[in-house]
Structure 1
Amino acid sequence: MLKKIIVKTDERGLLFKKGSYVMHLQPGIYRLTPLSDDAVVLLSVSKPFTVQGKELNLFLRDERLLEELTVIDVQDHEYVLHYEDGKFVSLLTAGKYAFWNVLKKHDFVRVDIRQPEVGPEVDKAILPKVAGYYYTSEVASHETGMLFYNNVMQKVLAPGKYYFWKGPVLASLKTVDLRQQQLDMTGQEIMTEDKVTLRLNFVCQYKIINPLRALEIKSFEDQVYILLQLILREYVGTLKLDDLLRMKQEIAAFVLSRLNEKSEDYGVMFLSAGVKDIILPGDIKEILNTVLLAEKKAQANLITRREETASTRSLLNTAKLMDENQTLFRLKELEFLEKICEKIGTISLTGGGNLLEQLNSLLGGAKQ
């Protein structure tokens, strides 16, 4: 009795004789003799073409079979994005694949992973479906990015999110902050020309304007700090303590000027600089306080002597005027008499005459 084989419309059959492929079978009914070595493998056309234990190349010699297959060969340096009827299905790695094209249309997008940046030909919406095959890097809005492939500079990246394929080339992103930054130097010990050791707190603000140049400098902030330190030592070492305390603004202007002479070497623009504090040793501070106190006392004594001299000169001028003008002298007497009377509660009169006559006689007697 013959063995009946049914190939459905959504299937195709592969006929093998003694384990060797013979032909593929279209939908229909087939009968095989039961004692023969013939066998039929049924495959669904909605699934990729695969035969367990058999190489794909074995079947690609059948031209009739090839008419119903779409074959894609993925190289070692590639990923291939597989779409069915315009919808993403899977990511294919290195190898050869075959898909039935009788019910669905297959499209492919090849990606060369030797250029790891995910290009515009790839819809970013599919990336969550291929997790594990890519990685991301971000450049913040206040940054600029430098893209490196295997440590070789490629290009500058603007702010945004970037996607890279995992593969033979490692993409790395180095970012540089373009905002205004501040460098604080605190407690820096420096010796003045007159051998006084003091501590300075200094600050400067800067912005990076050449990110690539800044990245080329190892330990960028440390080197800028040392540059600032050397310039301060150079300048302060030529000043005596008194000059240093008097010329704080000049120090800032000098340091800023010298920093900007080196700005191109560091890829930055120095915006401002200034002395925050000058911290003196305890014994020097006591000496300065003593000197300051003595200066203030001397100033106070000078002011007192000036006031006394002015008062004496005023009295002398008044005396000359009164001596030359009797009426003025009389008015001055009455002025003092008025002041005396303001402090007297009761006036008693004795003898004859009225109050004015007695006062006149009193003043007249005093004058004599």
Structure 2
Amino acid sequence: MSILETILGRQRVLVKENERVVALYKGAILAILEPGEHMLPNRRGRLETIRHDLTNPVFSSNIEKAIFDRLPDEAARQLTVFRTGRNEVEVVERDGQVFAALAPDRRLTVWTDAGPWTSTRVDASENLAVDPALMRRLGQARKAELMTVHPVVDGQAGLLFVDGTLAGTLEPGVHAFWNVGKMVQVKVVDLKRQSLDVAGQELLTRDRVTIRVNIAAEYQVVDPVKAVTAVKDFAEALYRALQLAFRKTLGAMTLDQILEKKVSVDEDAAAKVRADMAAIGIEVFDIALKDVILPGEMRDILNQVVAAEKQAEANVIRRREETNATRSLLNTAKVMAENPVMLRLKELETLEAIAGKVERLTVHNGTGGLMNDLVRLRDD
């Protein structure tokens, strides 16, 4: 400060292009200074200046209200105020870029010259859905804390609940909703064909044998609203329905009947399952008994029964073959008895077979003795 400034009780204040200065004299707001050189009163050092860098465009000060009360025209020219109502959301943009997203009952004050500023205000009480273009911009700017995003892919349906009440269904796509003032939930339901396994179910057959079975069924959700609102969990409801149907069906059958027809299920029980599920929007297709698992001791007994049956079948086959062989021998004996030449040929065949298996063969009476009878038979 120069001597002249001290004598005159004034102070020179230099404001840069990227700055704004709030000046107070004797504790009262004097002015908002724009870029340039300013001479301000400063008797006894009572001048106070507060500098603001426009690179941070937000004006946050405990004297903000006093500025608007004392200098309303100047404040309105220098500062831009964004304020939201009880159910409103406002997206503030700076030079075409998302700068902030204001929740309900919020206020944001910025330096006007740090702009240009624009805003989009939405009444969330009337429209909870976020415009898809705005949703993408908020996501890219990482200002998505005021909305929830719910993707729904092909083959799915989304059920929208607002404050616990069903508000509608959502088609495949990406949906966003403002999460202010109301509770928004989206339940995604798969509409594709699915399979359900009921594994390891123990039951007692009619002949009092305890078995474990594995059941399989294929189903598809055809009415997602009914499937979600009629029961707490539609998959669990189908699971229980299959359990009861098979317990009723298999409990009335013997073990032998179950083993003989294990790939089928009673049509009446299956029809009841399908009807009960159709009432809650579920279409049931194939129902099958996949596996029947026996206790260890019962499995051993059945193995023994099967082994005995196979052994009996083998014995029958063996006796049949022995009978056929005996009958063939009897027919051969009859032929030889009626034809002595055939008998002698058989003897020679046997001798040939024996000669092929020994190193030396001794024939008494010479070859003539061996062949005489055959020659004589030929002469006859």
| TM-score over 0.5 (shorter chain) | yes
Letter in 2 for 1:79: V
Pairing partner for 1:105 from 76, 93, 116: 116
- Checking the alignment, whether the CA contact within 8 Å between 1:15 and 1:41 is kept in structure 2 is yes
1:255 & 1:327 partners in 2: Cα distance? 77
- Are positions 1:315 and 2:336 aligned together? no
| Closer, same or farther: CA 233–89 of 1 in aligned 2, 3 Å | closer
Shift of 1:228: 0.6
Counterpart of 2:186? 173
Shift of 1:104: 4.4
- 1:241-270 deviation per Cα after TM superposition (whole angstroms, max 9, x unaligned): 221111112238876655434442343344
Q: In the alignment, is residue 201 of structure 1 matched against residue 180 of structure 2?
A: no
Distance 1:90 1:80 in 2: 8
Q: Distance in 2 between matches of 1:270 and 1:70?
A: 62
Aligned to 1:120: 132
Distance 1:188 1:89, change over 3 A: closer
Contact 2:264 2:289 in 1 (8 A): no
What TM-score do you get using the length of structure 1 for normalisation? 0.73
Give the AA of the match of 2:123.
D
SS at match of 1:122: helix
Q: Counterpart of 1:87?
A: 97
Segments of 5+ residues of structure 1 without an aligned counterpart are none
CA distance in 1, matches of 2:290, 2:235: 20
User: C-alpha offsets along residues 323-342 of structure 1, whole Å, 9 cap, x if unaligned?
Assistant: 44444344333333333443
- SS at 1:147's partner residue? strand
Equivalent pairs counted in the alignment come to: 358
Deviates more, 1:6-15 or 1:247-256: 6-15
8 Å CA contact 1:82, 1:106 repeated in 2: yes
Instruction: Return the alpha-carbon distance in structure 1 between the equivalents of residues 14 and 298 of structure 2.
Output: 106
- Alignment correspondent of 1:187: 200
Partner SS state of residue 217, structure 2: strand
The answer to whether structure 1 residue 76 and structure 2 residue 86 are counterparts is: yes
Deviation string, structure 1 residues 164-205 (Cα, Å, up to 9, x no partner): 433111111222345554433333222222333322222334
Residue 225 of structure 1 aligns with an amino acid whose one-letter code is: Y
Corresponding residue of 2:247: 233
- Please report how far the alpha carbon of residue 210 of structure 1 lies from its aligned counterpart in structure 2 after TM superposition: 3.4
| Partner SS for 1:239 | coil
SS in 2 for 1:337: helix
Deviations 1:89-141 (A, max 9, x none): 33344356676657843311112233443223525234444354344444466
1:324 and 1:98, CA in 2 relative to 1: closer, same or farther beyond 3 A?
A: same
1:45–1:102 Cα contact (<8 Å) kept: no
Distance of 1:45 and 1:303 partners within structure 2: 107
DSSP-derived class of the 1:54 partner = helix
In the other structure, the counterpart of 1:145 is 158
**What are the Cα deviations for residues 54-76 of structure 1, in whole angstroms up to 9, with x where unaligned?**
368747975x9867876655212
CA distance in 2, matches of 1:12, 1:284: 95
Contact 1:7 / 1:25 at 8 angstroms: preserved in 2? no
Change (3 A) 1:67 1:313: same
Does residue 328 (structure 1) correspond to residue 339 (structure 2)? The answer is: no
Q: Would you say the 8 A contact 1:7–1:13 is kept in 2?
A: no
Given that 2:224 and 2:281 are in contact with CA atoms closer than 8 Å, whether structure 1 keeps it comes out as yes
User: 2:3 — aligned with what?
Assistant: none
SS at match of 1:194: coil
Cα displacement (A) at 1:313: 1.7
Q: Assess, with a 3 A threshold, how the Cα gap between structure 1 residues 291 and 48 changes in structure 2: closer, same or farther.
A: closer
What is the one-letter code of the residue matched to 1:197? T
| 8 Å contact from structure 2 (residues 23, 49) kept in 1 | yes
